[in-house]
């Protein structure tokens, strides 16, 4: 950077491409997305990526590249507006506009009109970008009417409010294009457009509105339209959480179906979102849809920051010494054949002068993720222990997500976590008829989501301090205090969450996860591992070898065998002794070992100290 160049700003929260370029913000050039899109020839492209991975900015770039600006402000109008005159005069030297004293009126008018026309062109936004090197692509710049919709803020707890927000989105877009289309509308079309703008049209009119505005724009511009829809699935996520899923799916199926299937006014369309919502749910009948998820190579380097882009940004903001830490905290996402960094985290890191902390996980309350994790099956909780301890699990890939299956199907939930950015994949391959991959947690930042989720689950209970008191007495080697705290904690927590029947098993699996998350700094927590002659349930290995090692064995009371809480706990403790579960701890040089047999029956539990 020369002395004359102004230091670029850090684009935290800047997702409008024009503002980013003209505001002198730092920009990782992703403009070859345009070439890849044009080369693909796809009628409709869906690009699902995790949140805060640059989807909105990329779609905004497409808008400014393709959109044809039809109307120029009349020269005479500008001259009559003092502010307009001031703006023009401020650019006079740069534009070489002759002053009134040195030029004939017609010459000055021609130069100023040229400025007005240039002001309405977006061509300059792409000066110096990679796409500018491709003349065949640049011929498309500014040539099409663009329909630009974003549903990222359509998140509410009721369908009526959601539908109101959708109406506002369509009203705003019709209003944006009204001057261009109004003269080509029939009387009936004009009334319908006015009703849409006023938000008083029928639901059928709104469902058909994407198709209608396409037709009107093609008629006005004599060119087929480009449809860009950002965060198309945001209303679907909110609907799933708030029990109006069927209403949203019904509307979006009609809305997108009309606008994207058999629309003769469509040149091409691009949609972004987090998930590929299954075709039978929302894309029914749209056979011209090309879906490019993060497991494919198409567009794989256009979302997220590549290694060289991160190095360049850290160097620009004089943070090169942070690279190793940055990689551990924010890298690790597989995107096609590329490894990418979370762009939101890197941008915020630069804005925060290199402070390493969780940025991405704090942009959302992660409500859906936490809810799903805690309601997951016992088997999934066991596998979650593997991944949050840095391990990998092999699962089939399912790119189509049916939201209603999330509660009942662990395989869908694993894929949901993958495509939302809470897991990453490697070694993707075909086995038999199924594509499978190894899933793992991508980086330190995402580990915090899991740790926080399971710690908070217990801290939400009626006596949130009991969880911490229970853990403190356990790791301090105070078995009597632990017994008292555990029995009280489990009773209040099981009652708080209304867990019944054989469901306490879910509680104990979640308890292990909570312990793992809470004690990860001071202990290695293992579970269901071979040791001695059998298997233990949970083992705590202190990093400080002067502290006690701990083995816990859980047993459910078998009423058919006439067991009681006490006899089941005795059986658990005997299993620890008979199978010599302490062998692994002794081998590590631990002299003090705490052995606890824990039984449970319904909401009651009993702790026996060995």
Number of H helices, E strands in the chain: 26, 19
Run of H or E residues at 44: strand 44-48
Q: Stretch 485-505: mean pLDDT, rounded?
A: 64
* Predicted confidence (pLDDT) at residue 335 exceeds the cutoff of 80: yes
Q: What is the pLDDT of residues 381-435, one digit of tens each?
A: 878 888 988 899 999 998 887 777 777 788 888 998 999 999 999 999 998 888 9
Q: What is the pLDDT of residues 295-307, one digit of tens each?
A: 999 999 999 999 9
Reported as a pLDDT band with limits 50, 70 and 90, residue 339 is very high
Q: Stretch 291-318: mean pLDDT, rounded?
A: 96
* Predicted confidence (pLDDT) at residue 74 exceeds the cutoff of 50: no
Q: What single DSSP character describes residue 147?
A: E
Q: Stretch 161-185: mean pLDDT, rounded?
A: 96
Give the model's pLDDT for residue 106.
Answer: 54
Closest among 137, 90, 97 to 115, alpha carbons compared = 97
Q: Which long-range contacts (CB under 8 A, 24 or more apart) does 525-528 make?
A: 525/389, 527/382, 527/385, 528/382
Run of H or E residues at 595: strand 593-601
CA 55 distance to own-chain centroid? 10
Alpha carbons 511 and 467: distance in angstroms, whole number: 10
Residue that wins the pLDDT comparison between 495 and 304 = 304
Show the tokens assigned to 374: 């805690």
Query: Can you give 491-545 as a three-state secondary structure string?
Result: HHHHHHCCCCCCCHHHHHHHHHHHHHHHHCCCEEEEECCEECCEECCEEEEECCC
Give the model's pLDDT for residue 325.
Answer: 96
Q: Stretch 548-572: mean pLDDT, rounded?
A: 88
DSSP letters for 27-89? ----THHHHHHHHH--SEEEEE--TTSSHHHHHHHHHHHHB---PPPPHHHHHH-HHHHHHHH
Bridge partners of 230, per DSSP, are: 150
* Predicted confidence (pLDDT) at residue 203 exceeds the cutoff of 90: yes
Reported as a pLDDT band with limits 50, 70 and 90, residue 584 is confident
Residue 186 makes CB contacts below 8 A (sequence gap 6+) with none
Show the tokens assigned to 183: 């003269």
Show the tokens assigned to 373: 């994790």
DSSP letters for 220-247? HHTS-EEEEEESTTHHHHHHHHHT-HHH
Show the tokens assigned to 96: 């070489």
Q: How many CB atoms lie within 10 A of CB 121?
A: 13
Instruction: Calculate the dihedral angle through the C-alpha atoms of 48, 49, 50, 55, rounding to the nearest 10 degrees.
Output: -100
Look at the alpha carbons of 104, 105, 107, 112 in this order and tell me if their dihedral is positive or negative. Answer: positive
Give the model's pLDDT for residue 3.
Answer: 52
Please check whether residue 65 is in contact with residue 18, taking contact to mean a CB–CB distance below 8 angstroms.
Answer: no
For helices 504-519 and 479-496, what crossing angle results, to 10°? 120
> In which residue are the tokens 């098993």 written?
505
Closest among 485, 420, 475, 487 to 450, alpha carbons compared = 420
Residue that wins the pLDDT comparison between 138 and 451 = 138
Mean pLDDT across the chain, nearest whole number?
85
Q: How many CB atoms lie within 10 A of CB 69?
A: 15
Q: Stretch 332-340: mean pLDDT, rounded?
A: 95
Q: What is the pLDDT of residues 19-68, one digit of tens each?
A: 999 999 999 999 999 999 999 999 999 999 998 999 999 999 999 999 99
pTM for this entry: 0.83
Listed by start position, the domains of the chain span 45-49+52-66+140-291, 72-119, 307-362, 365-446, 460-609
Between 136-150, 172-186, 204-218, 542-556, the lowest mean confidence (pLDDT) is in 542-556
Residue 92 makes CB contacts below 8 A (sequence gap 6+) with 99
Closest among 435, 441, 438, 372 to 399, alpha carbons compared = 435
* Predicted confidence (pLDDT) at residue 607 exceeds the cutoff of 60: yes
Give the model's pLDDT for residue 490.
Answer: 79
Q: Stretch 186-195: mean pLDDT, rounded?
A: 96
Q: Stretch 210-233: mean pLDDT, rounded?
A: 97
């Amino acid at each position: 950077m020369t002395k004359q160049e102004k230091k670029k700003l850090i684009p935290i929260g800047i997702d409008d491409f024009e503002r980013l370029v003209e505001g002198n913000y730092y920009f990782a050039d992703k403009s070859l997305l345009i070439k890849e899109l044009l080369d693909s020839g796809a009628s409709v492209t869906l690009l699902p990526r995790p949140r805060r991975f640059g989807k909105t900015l990329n779609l905004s770039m497409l808008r400014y590249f393709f959109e044809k600006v039809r109307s120029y402000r009349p020269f005479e109008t500008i001259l009559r507006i003092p502010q307009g005159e001031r703006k023009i005069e401020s650019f006079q030297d740069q534009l070489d506009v002759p002053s009134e004293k040195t030029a004939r009126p017609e010459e000055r008018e021609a130069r100023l009109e040229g400025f007005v026309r240039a002001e309405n062109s977006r061509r300059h936004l792409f000066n110096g970008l990679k796409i500018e090197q491709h003349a065949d692509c640049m011929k498309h710049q500014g040539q099409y009417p663009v329909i630009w919709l974003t549903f990222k803020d359509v998140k509410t707890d009721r369908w009526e409010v959601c539908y109101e927000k959708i109406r506002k989105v369509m009203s705003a877009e019709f209003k944006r294009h009204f001057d261009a289309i109004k003269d080509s509308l029939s009387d009936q079309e004009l009334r319908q457009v006015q009703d849409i703008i006023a938000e008083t049209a029928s639901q059928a009119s709104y469902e058909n509105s994407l198709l209608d505005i396409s037709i009107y724009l093609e008629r006005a511009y004599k060119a087929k339209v480009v449809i860009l829809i950002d965060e198309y699935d945001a209303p679907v996520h909110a609907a799933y959480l708030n029990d109006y899923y069927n209403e949203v799916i019904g509307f979006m199926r009609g809305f997108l179906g009309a606008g994207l299937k058999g629309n003769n006014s469509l040149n091409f369309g691009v949609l972004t979102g987090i998930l590929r919502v299954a075709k039978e749910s929302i894309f029914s009948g749209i056979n011209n849809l090309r879906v490019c998820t993060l497991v494919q190579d198409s567009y794989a380097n256009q979302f997220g920051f590549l290694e060289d882009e991160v190095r360049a940004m850290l160097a620009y903001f004089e943070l090169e010494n942070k690279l190793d830490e940055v990689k551990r905290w924010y890298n690790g996402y597989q995107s096609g054949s590329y490894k990418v960094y979370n762009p939101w985290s890197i941008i915020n890191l630069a804005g925060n002068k290199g402070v390493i902390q969780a940025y991405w996980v704090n942009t959302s309350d992660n409500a859906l993720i936490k809810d799903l994790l805690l309601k997951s099956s016992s088997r999934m909780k066991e596998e979650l222990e593997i991944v949050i301890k840095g391990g990998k699990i092999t699962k089939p890939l399912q790119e189509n997500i049916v939201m209603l299956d999330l509660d009942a199907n662990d395989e869908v939930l694993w894929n949901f976590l993958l495509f939302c950015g809470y897991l990453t994949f490697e070694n993707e391959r075909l086995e038999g008829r199924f594509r499978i991959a190894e899933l793992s947690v991508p980086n330190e930042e995402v580990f915090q989501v899991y740790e926080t989720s399971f710690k908070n689950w217990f801290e939400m209970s009626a006596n949130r301090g009991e969880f911490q008191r229970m853990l403190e007495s356990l790791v301090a080697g105070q078995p009597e205090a632990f017994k008292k705290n555990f029995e009280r904690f489990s009773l209040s927590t099981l009652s708080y969450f209304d867990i019944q029947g054989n469901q306490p098993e879910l509680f104990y699996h979640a308890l292990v996860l909570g312990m793992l998350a809470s004690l990860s700094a001071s202990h290695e927590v293992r579970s269901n591992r071979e040791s001695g002659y059998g298997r233990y349930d949970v083992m705590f290995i202190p990093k400080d070898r002067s502290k006690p090692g701990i083995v816990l064995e859980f047993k459910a009371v078998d009423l058919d065998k006439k067991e009681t809480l006490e006899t089941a706990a005795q059986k658990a403790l005997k299993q620890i002794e008979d199978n010599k579960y302490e062998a692994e701890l002794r081998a590590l040089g631990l002299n003090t070992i705490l052995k606890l047999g824990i039984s449970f029956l319904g909401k009651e539990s009993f702790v026996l100290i060995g």
